[in-house]
Amino acid sequence: MRADPPRLNRRAFLAAPIALAACDRIAAAPSVADPVARPLKSLAPFPFGATGMTWQLDQPDWVEQMLRHCSQLTPEWEQKMERTLGPGFTYDFGPSDRVVAFARDNGLRVHGHTVIWYSQGADVFDDATVPRARFAAEYDRYISTFVGRYRGQMAGWDVVNEPVAEDGDGLRECHWSRALGMDGYMVRAFEQAKQADPDAVLFLNEYNLENIPAKGATFLKLVERLLKLGAPIGGIGTQSHLNIEIPAGQITAFMRDAASLGLPIHVSELDFPMQRDGGHLPDLRSTAERRAQQVARVGELAEAFMALPERQRYAFTTWGLRDSDSWLVRAEGKNRPDESALLLDAEGRPNPAYQAVAEAFQR
């Protein structure tokens, strides 16, 4: 079984040039001298989280680091439809139950991920063969059963994941939109989730919002439109798989625009790869330059998040806790064993971007 199937063919990052100005205070942040990272949850005046998977629950070193640094856990794969939905509209929530129980037993709050995603479910929810009436009924049943199973146990849910087109030009067509309408499938998902778990914060979650301004703008317009249609959206999830080469200020601009909607914001899947995705030109940047770019952009994100009103800071979550936990290094992911895209190295020691985040959180 693949450990993290949803991340295999993803993430076309914007390849924008960047100039690290001498006045960029964050880029000049020193490397961390202390080999022991202070607990991130003690530095953040809001929940700090990371992802977890069932196989990690059996690793004492991962458990130790997770409980040391995190106050929130996001199931990385166990709640995706690929795992929970079987042929003939059968369900299996066993792995999800195990991750949620681990969090409960260890005093971690849980953020659910993800209910409806364009990338999954089409093999069972086949809009070409399943009659529309049954499609709609099974759609409602899946959401109400899944979300309702954890009623009162989840802080929030990613109800609809990645509805915006890759380049930000409109929305993605998928089996959900063909059967239930482009806006209709999203409104319906939020309505069903609200009925099933009325106290959870319900999120629309998307990636490349900071990396591609056009996509960020389309996403925020979608949130506004769905709210006007009555969708009970309670929060905005920005995945923040950061392209470390984007121009300074671009992250801040998106966060400011997102904040104007007044909803809680979740930095939901943060990582910041040193290696470029795609492209045909050799990457001539030195390791020091890549690290400086990481520090600058991650520091900017943390500062922009801290600038939000307190009520809008839902949580700050990294997609994996240590470099060795990242989907980027795993063979079934990007298969980059030397990638370093998280705040902690494989031994749980602070990477350079850790200090920029720690300083931002304590201002």
In the numeric block, the tokens 């939109």 are attached to 177
Closest CA to 182 of 206, 165, 158: 165
- CA-based Rg of the chain, rounded to a whole angstrom? 20
Residue 239 contacts residue 215 (beta carbons within 8 Å): no
CA distance 327 to 95: 19
End-to-end CA distance of the chain: 44
269 a catalytic residue: yes
CA distance 310 to 318: 20
222's tokens = 């979608």
- The answer to whether the bond into 114 is cis (omega within 30° of 0) is yes
In the numeric block, the tokens 């301004």 are attached to 213
Q: DSSP secondary-structure letter at 241? A: B
Question: Catalytic pick from 78, 162, 245, 300?
Answer: 162
* Residue 316, SS3 per DSSP: strand
Long-range pairs for 35-40 at CB < 8 Å and ≥24 separation? Answer: 35/349, 35/350, 36/349, 37/69, 37/343, 37/344, 37/348, 37/349, 37/350, 37/354, 38/358, 39/68, 39/69, 40/69, 40/70, 40/343, 40/357, 40/358
CA 86 to chain centre: 25
Prediction pTM value: 0.90
339 a catalytic residue: no
Q: Which residues pair with 156 in a beta bridge?
A: 111, 201
Residue 276 contacts residue 12 (beta carbons within 8 Å): no
Give the model's pLDDT for residue 6. 39
Q: Quote the Cα angle for 320-55-332, to 5°.
A: 65
Give the model's pLDDT for residue 110. 98
Residue 83 contacts residue 108 (beta carbons within 8 Å): no
Residue 242 contacts residue 16 (beta carbons within 8 Å): no
The strand pair at 90-91 and 109-117 is best described as: unpaired
Give the model's pLDDT for residue 280. 66
Helix (H) or strand (E) holding 267: strand 265-270
Give the model's pLDDT for residue 363. 84
CA distance 184 to 187: 5
The strand pair at 85-86 and 90-91 is best described as: antiparallel
39's tokens = 């607990």
CA distance 44 to 41: 5
Give the model's pLDDT for residue 34. 56
Residue 229 contacts residue 5 (beta carbons within 8 Å): no
Q: What is the CATH number of domain 45-275+283-361?
A: 3.20.20.80
Residue 75 contacts residue 101 (beta carbons within 8 Å): no
CA distance 249 to 24: 10
Question: Catalytic pick from 269, 300, 303, 339?
Answer: 269
In the numeric block, the tokens 């929030």 are attached to 156
Q: What is the pLDDT along the chain (363 residues), one digit of tens a residue?
A: 334 433 333 333 333 333 333 334 434 444 444 578 999 999 999 999 999 999 999 999 999 999 999 999 999 999 999 999 999 999 999 999 999 999 999 999 999 999 999 999 999 999 999 999 999 999 999 999 999 999 999 999 999 999 999 999 999 999 999 999 999 999 999 999 999 999 999 999 999 999 999 999 999 999 999 999 999 999 999 999 999 999 999 999 999 999 999 999 999 999 999 988 876 677 888 999 999 999 999 999 999 999 999 999 999 999 999 999 999 999 999 999 999 999 999 999 999 999 999 999 998
